[in-house]
Structure 1
């Protein structure tokens, strides 16, 4: 069954009137959760929706393994102090099942218990008031060449962002020699790409495809055409570990992908 997800814009109210000094060691950094105290299941980084954490100014945001969140972090004069109060956070309200729901709750609890942090060889460790390790993070990979992706959604240019049984069939590979190949749902496609990691610009061009006709799944040919059109509209990219987002010249999300 096709799902059309309309872009959600959440306006965050002023959470606190106090001005906090920005921590230069944390500012403008992004992290992917690697381990979580009390979590004994599959590595958090290998779950379909890895948990993340990002710092920008005095703002903290990320994905808890289920929902996106946004809030503030605070510090004191004590070196490497850090508080991430979850009661001051705003988040999306998706319902998740099983491991994702459990990880989400445990992760947010760990953030709320954090009173300090440690940075060592690009590994971020959050600690509680007794100095015990709550969670560890690595910096996510940002490179594009030599990566393989599963398409999660695309913008159809009309109603919004589409995720369906057809996107589950879509794949995409960025080769190291500037070629892009994949499956658009029915046909295989091929073309070229250029990108600039300094400003995250990207151009996907010279797209061609095989000429098969598929009747199933429903609407696969229509979705294939819209997906390929969305690809060629991409002007910027943002990779954060296992996630890749392509956006158009207006900054609108056009394709979302997950690392295979």
Structure 2
């Protein structure tokens, strides 16, 4: 290959890679949302929810650190937004009856001096992404894993 053909080959390779990645992204989204509908129902007009307890890395449901400061709001646009103790976060969700799927949250990158709070943030993000179902009541919201074990407990603010 001569020098004149090298930029063309790089351009074609870049284009093919971009198309392949776009195709993978579409497949991931379709698999993620398979069987789900974009009807958040009760959560659609949701107030802020305050974290009460969170399953830690060992699987134990423990009381929230800084109770009242860790929040989640399920917005009409299908996003969850909130404050995780040190950082703001956003994740996409979709709900069908009591089933829910939540993407792993995107978040700011602040570091807290409290190591326990940083561990709680990591658990919050991991548990949001692991949620498979939701139980709601007048003033509580519980996110559960696929086996029905509680991951996160919230109370209405």
Q: Does 1:239 align with 2:136?
A: yes
In structure 2, the residue matched to 1:215 is 113
Looking at structure 2, the residues matched to 255 and 226 of structure 1 have their Cα atoms a distance apart, in angstroms, of 9
Within a 5 Å distance, the mapping from 1:73-88 to structure 2 comes to: none
By how many angstroms is 1:231 displaced?
A: 1.0
In structure 2, the CA distance between the partners of 1:191 and 1:164, relative to structure 1 (3 Å rule), is: closer
Q: Secondary structure at the match of 1:191?
A: strand
Q: Secondary structure at the match of 2:42?
A: coil
Looking at structure 2, the residues matched to 206 and 159 of structure 1 have their Cα atoms a distance apart, in angstroms, of 18
TM-score normalised to structure 1 length: 0.43
In structure 2, the residue matched to 1:146 is 45
In structure 2, the residue matched to 1:162 is 62
TM-score normalised to structure 2 length: 0.69
Q: Say which structure is richer in strand.
A: 1
Q: Secondary structure at the match of 1:229?
A: helix
By how many angstroms is 1:206 displaced?
A: 4.5
CA RMSD of superposed structures (Å): 1.5
2:95 to 177, 195, 212: 195
In structure 1, the residue matched to 2:149 is 252
Looking at structure 1, the residues matched to 71 and 80 of structure 2 have their Cα atoms a distance apart, in angstroms, of 11
Looking at structure 2, the residues matched to 150 and 243 of structure 1 have their Cα atoms a distance apart, in angstroms, of 9
Looking at structure 1, the residues matched to 103 and 141 of structure 2 have their Cα atoms a distance apart, in angstroms, of 18
By how many angstroms is 1:222 displaced?
A: 1.3
- 4+ runs of 1 displaced by more than 3 Å? none
- Higher normalized contact order (CA 8 Å, seq sep 6+, divided by chain length): 2
In structure 1, the residue matched to 2:80 is 180
Task: Give a deviation string over 1:141-162, Cα, whole Å, max 9, x none.
Answer: x811121201111111415111
Looking at structure 1, the residues matched to 77 and 119 of structure 2 have their Cα atoms a distance apart, in angstroms, of 30
Query: How many corresponding residue pairs?
Result: 116
> Where do 5+ consecutive residues of structure 2 fail to align?
1-40
By how many angstroms is 1:166 displaced?
A: 3.3
Q: Say which structure is richer in helix.
A: 2
In structure 2, the CA distance between the partners of 1:196 and 1:239, relative to structure 1 (3 Å rule), is: same
In structure 2, the CA distance between the partners of 1:182 and 1:201, relative to structure 1 (3 Å rule), is: same
Looking at structure 1, the residues matched to 148 and 69 of structure 2 have their Cα atoms a distance apart, in angstroms, of 26
